Amino acid sequence: MKILVVGGGGREHALCWKLAQSSRVTKLYCAPGNAGIALTRGEKCGAVECIDITSENLDSLARFVRRERIDLTVIGPEAPLVLGVADRWEAEGWNCFGPSQRCAELEGSKTFTKTLLRKHGIPSAEFQAFTDSDKALKYCQDHGGPLVVKADGLAAGKGVIMAKDGAEAAAAVKQMMVEKAFGEAGAKVIVEETLKGEEASVLCLTDGQTIALLPSAQDHKRIGDGDTGPNTGGMGAYSPAPCVTPEVEDRIVREILVPTLHAMNREERPYKGVLYAGLMLTDAGPKVLEYNCRFGDPECQCILPRLKGDLVDIIEKIQQGKLEENGVEISSDPAVCVVMAAGGYPGAYKKGAAISGLDASGQVGLPDVTVFHAGTAKAAEGRVATAGGRVLGVTATAATLQMAVERAYQGVAKISFDGAQYRKDIAHRALKRQG
């Protein structure tokens, strides 16, 4: 089987790493991939071949799939899904792992999602949607705070502003709707109540009828230790998240995931693929903060190492509508991913710094430690250099969370590059909870 993975970050490295373990895969391509992906090998498929096509260039991807007779395309990021890659592949009779464009609206339009959740009584923050900036500004000014202002469309994780009062919320609305800081993504906005609680991500696989729950995870969005400083794409993650107890997990399935899939079916949007629920565990129970139509990054780097079995088999079952409940087996060993980022990130940062400490396979040579590359590129003399904001995700699994944390940081300690920054407290909340 020939597989193409679309994307080039840590999540896609984890996907390639997992797919390369399948005895069914004879050839693995990644578009555009990165230096670490190109160093990933499977016994049967050999080295992953990176091809120079960006993930949003559907025309070039389609030409490649036709020419190479790709059997399955696995989509990492949201943008190609929101652009309709799955629908286009289906029309061609090609296999694509990822939801349709109408389903990807769960991530692509916050107005769509919030309206769906409200209509079907699925717990989420109270909100108002606006297409008129004057009305949005008035609403914020008339309201005390705190409020959360969200751009409707995709804004690379930057379209959410937490405002402490109405004036700050109005400023955010102005930035989005009048100054168009996020372009068309901010033409509509949502203003919602601020929820309090602990955040967790719960992802599931679904064929539209059946849910196979993946292990819970927690992301670290802020750049600094103790959750300080600006938001990032995610500075680390761990799985499982102890705040998602079996009881909480059961509520998430019953009150959120199942009703959402039923709602999507009723709207004639049968969902197939990965559904990612970003949740706030409030005193009143779990509530949806956001949906994503794909694996999270870096949550994926903690979830896939815990997933047992052949990912190709699992994907096939989803596509055939034959997914079984509890149909995936999860290792009981926790996983921890520590992201190493370029100096300056999430603001302006330099690229091209040589990375030392990686061996010829882009790894650190420690047992149960996998370095998932995100922003890396090949440099002279077989070396690897930085090529993005988030550079590496050093991931470890072990019998306990504490040991996985220690092991991940042992991996981090072996790696250096000019300006490298990483959080020292990944999984701190879970460790504190465990005492």
Q: Which residues lie near ligand AMP (CB under 6 A)? A: 125, 148, 150, 160, 192, 194-195, 199, 221, 278, 289-290
Q: Which does 289 bind (CB under 5 to 8 A by kind): ligand GLY, ligand AMP, none?
A: ligand AMP
Using alpha carbons, list the distances in angstroms from residue 343 to 8, 35, 318, 389, 393.
Answer: 20, 19, 41, 8, 15
Q: Which of ligand GLY, ligand AMP, none does residue 407 bind to, with CB < 5 to 8 Å depending on kind?
A: none
- 12 near ligand GLY (CB under 6 A): no
Binding span for ligand GLY by CB under 6 A among 147-155, 174-182, 291-299, 406-414: 291-299
- Residue 292 is a binding residue for ligand GLY (CB under 6 A): yes
Strand partners, 278: 201, 290
* Backbone φ, ψ for residue 246 (5° rounding): -55, -35
Q: What is the DSSP letter of 270?
A: -
Separation between Cα atoms, residue 90 and residue 311, nearest integer Å: 21
Minimum CB–partner distance for residue 285 and ligand AMP (Å): 15
Nearest of 176, 189, 210 to residue 322 by alpha carbon: 210
Q: In this structure, what are the phi and psi dihedrals at residue 267, rounded to the nearest 5 degrees?
A: -90, 10
Q: At what angle do helices 110-119 and 101-108 cross, to 10 degrees?
A: 100
Q: Answer with the entry of ligand AMP, ligand GLY, none that 160 interacts with (C-beta below 5 to 8 A by kind).
A: ligand AMP
CA 46, distance to chain mean position in Å, is 27
Asked if residue 395 binds ligand GLY (CB under 6 A), the reply is no
Structure tokens at 54: 């960006």
Select the binding partner of residue 234 from ligand AMP, ligand GLY, none (C-beta < 5 to 8 A, by kind).
ligand GLY
Q: Does 296 bind ligand GLY (CB under 6 A)?
A: yes
Site string for ligand GLY, 175-214 (x = CB under 6 A): ----------------------------------------
Complex with ligand AMP: residue 24 or 158, whichever CB lies closer? 158
Q: Cβ closer to ligand GLY: 289 or 371?
A: 289
The sign of the torsion formed by the CA atoms of 229, 346, 35, 299 equals positive
∠ Cα 376 298 331 (to 5°): 120
Return the range that interacts with ligand GLY (CB under 6 A); candidates 20-28, 31-39, 294-302, 322-330.
294-302
The span from the CA of 326 to the CA of 346, in Å, is 38
* Binding site residues, ligand GLY, CB under 6 A: 219, 234, 292, 296-297, 299
